[in-house]
Amino acid sequence: MKIAIVAAMAEELAPFREVFSSTILWEKGKTKIEAVNPQLFLVQSGIGKANAAATSAWLCEKVQPDLMINTGSTGSFRKDFALGDVVYTNQFIYSDVDATGFDYAFGQVPQMPAGYPVEKELLETIEKVLKAAKIPAHQGMIVTSDSFMSDEASIATIRQRFPEIAASDMESCAVAQIAYFYEIPVLNLRGISDHVGDDAAATFDKTIDLAAEQAFKAVKALVDYWQKV
């Protein structure tokens, strides 16, 4: 299985680069696509939806992976989830897209699906592998926005629109939207770097390395599992 691991920031890919040696296939700006071997690739997309979408399109065209794993850090909407715990999404959706005036669901890009669910079999595999690896992990909806979640009014609105929300990031649904065109499955596993709210930015700065390390452990456990199958 050819797997591409996609993260926005160098800090989020640092644990992978410490373990895997790689060769740069393509680099432009903040974007880097590196080959570890013919079956494993590391991808630094840059922050935000536009960077994630552009990088994913290049990746799908040139590398043609069998599976994309988006990873890195996430802000938790659940106070009962600890910093450093891993969250993996069961559905990709935007929290800042509004075309409801044309009878689309909130979060739905016009003429695109309302969301991008993860296959049940993949979710069951994640649960099994992370449990065996004794990695604290939670399944739940991770939404995507171009905003860092520190504004309390915006957070309250998102909670109202998505009562089942677990966490938020700035890239994953854009990755999923591009992968949808190419019929490539996508997963999203992230370490919790902060709890959304006023203190999120300060907490993120202190916890990003922990979040990245925990996400790395989860993703590596899955990569090891699939490369043995």
Burial of 83 (0-12, 13-18, 19+ CB in 10 A): middle
Give the Cα separation of 80 and 180 in Å (integer).
Answer: 32
Domain count for the chain, please give it.
1
Give the Cα separation of 226 and 154 in Å (integer).
Answer: 39
**pTM, two decimal places:** 0.96
- Domain span at residue 145 reads 3-228
Give catalytic residues, as residue numbers. 12, 194
Give the Cα separation of 219 and 70 in Å (integer).
Answer: 9
Q: What is the pLDDT along the chain (229 residues), one digit of tens a residue?
A: 999 999 999 999 999 999 999 999 999 988 999 999 999 999 999 999 999 999 999 999 999 999 999 999 999 999 999 999 999 999 999 999 999 999 999 999 999 999 999 999 999 999 999 999 999 999 999 999 999 999 999 999 999 999 999 999 999 999 999 999 999 999 999 999 999 998 999 999 999 999 999 999 999 999 999 988 6
CATH number at residue 34: 3.40.50.1580
Query: Beta strand pairing status for 23-28 and 31-37?
Result: antiparallel
